[in-house]
Amino acid sequence: MSLFAAEELGMSFGGIRAVDSVSFEVEAGQVFTIIGPNGAGKTTIFNLVSRIYDPSQGRLRFRDEDITRVPPHEIARRGIARTFQNIELFEHATVLHNLLLGRHAHARPHLVQELLFLPGVRARERAHREAAEKVIDFLDLQPYRDSLVVNLPYGVRKVVEMGRALCTEPTLLLLDEPSSGLSVEETADMAFWIEDIRTLLGITVLMVEHDMSLVSAVSDRVLALNYGRVVACGTAREVQEHPDVIKAYLGG
Ligand code: ATP
């Protein structure tokens, strides 16, 4: 049984069918990538999976559970974390504080305990710090640990955002265009991070990506969309060579 499945997923905006009966399955331990030309429906699928949108049609399954109507704040607690195309971090907070915010998905509210700062609260706080520090080490972010995000180069911010998502200890990590805004060298580094996240942390990755060098370097399976529909699904090479995919990209 796959870790994640989209079944006959559909989403309409007024008269526009942004996603039309899209089905796919992501196996545990895979990097699964969605590609497609502009307007193909990739971001809409991402927003459906992270539950920002309610689908007009179809179902989402994660670890044998139907998550089609699970609210977005509950998704992280179930083990799904995401990054955003345009990076969503607290710019005037440090890297460490941004990562600690990622831990909030794990925090259970115990208001009275928190107000009294009881030993249990202190222990939890320590555990959050240790988890954040581990992610800082894993992603080589030590030099930036106490820097304000606003002062960091774009490429480092992208890694910090990924780190914040990792702090929630996800089973499934959703990456929305991890290479966008990155240089060729930074994109190559990103490929290594994604590979490490999969092999060393055992996290399954579902991503949307435009850069075919990154797609080919890290993806086990690739799904190509056009006009909201599946055009092809297979290895990066199979999909890139598929005549309907070539046609979709060339606008034929
Ligand atoms: P890009 O690569 O340009 O980000 P995409 O593949 O992510 O494109 P989507 O952003 O999912 O594509 O858009 C799919 C279709 O749905 C497009 O025709 C788009 O104009 C439309 N669309 C997306 N979001 C909305 C919205 N909130 N309201 C109306 N139409 C939308």
CA distance 59 to 83: 22
79 lines ligand 1 (CB under 6 A): no
pLDDT score of 13 more than 70: yes
Task: Give the pLDDT score at 117.
Answer: 63
Residue of the CA atom closest to atom 30 of ligand 1: 13
Residue of the CA atom closest to atom 16 of ligand 1: 18
Task: Give the pLDDT score at 80.
Answer: 95
Q: What are the DSSP calls for 184-208, one per residue? A: HHHHHHHHHHHHHHHHTT--EEEEE
pTM of the model: 0.91
Task: Give the pLDDT score at 108.
Answer: 55
Task: Give the pLDDT score at 72.
Answer: 86
Residue of the CA atom closest to atom 20 of ligand 1: 39
Q: What is the mean pLDDT of residues 217-221?
A: 97
pLDDT score of 251 more than 90: no
42 lines ligand 1 (CB under 6 A): yes
Tracing tokens 């992270």 back to the chain, one arrives at: 50
pLDDT score of 234 more than 80: yes
226 lines ligand 1 (CB under 6 A): no
Q: Mean pLDDT across the chain, nearest whole number? A: 91
Dump pLDDT digits (tens) for 115-144. 666 666 778 888 889 999 999 999 999 999
Q: What is the mean pLDDT of residues 47-52?
A: 92
For ligand 1, the distance from its centroid to the CA atom of residue 43, given in whole angstroms, is 7
Task: Give the pLDDT score at 28.
Answer: 97
CA distance 101 to 9: 31
242's tokens: 């598929």
For ligand 1, the distance from its centroid to the CA atom of residue 44, given in whole angstroms, is 6
Which has more pLDDT, 87 or 231? 231
Dump pLDDT digits (tens) for 181-215. 999 999 999 999 999 999 999 999 999 999 999 99
Dump pLDDT digits (tens) for 147-176. 999 999 999 999 999 999 999 999 999 999
Mutation test of ligand 1: which of 16, 179, 211, 225 has the most ligand atoms closer than 8 Å to its C-beta?
16
40 lines ligand 1 (CB under 6 A): yes
Alpha helices by DSSP H, 50-206 = 72-78, 95-102, 111-116, 119-138, 154-166, 184-199
Task: Give the pLDDT score at 73.
Answer: 83
